[in-house]
Structure 1
Amino acid sequence: MAGTPAVTYHDGQYDVFARSPRGVVYQKTWNGTWSDWKSIGGILG
């Protein structure tokens, strides 16, 4: 991942958002265990 990830928390769940070197946005979730990274689409410059 590139840059600094962003984290949100709501109702016992953490969501981490990060940008790949190509600018695609990915999300990883914690609600007792970590999910795999998944692409949520979009391209950030």
Structure 2
Amino acid sequence: MRKALVKRQNNISKLERDILIIIFRIKRRNVKLGHVRNWLDLFGK
């Protein structure tokens, strides 16, 4: 019983870590896009 619970917890933690990494990457990508837009706005004006 205990081993099964530990395995399940490990799987959940791996999933959560993957999700957090994906969210972090998306946020970083959005920040980079924001910088690019700011530069384009500066050059546009």
- The bucket for the TM-score relative to the shorter chain is under 0.3
Larger RCO: 1 or 2 (CA < 8 Å, sep 6+) = 1
Q: Normalising by structure 1, what TM-score?
A: 0.16
Quick check: which one's strand share is greater?
Answer: 1
Question: Which of 1 and 2 has greater Rg?
Answer: 2
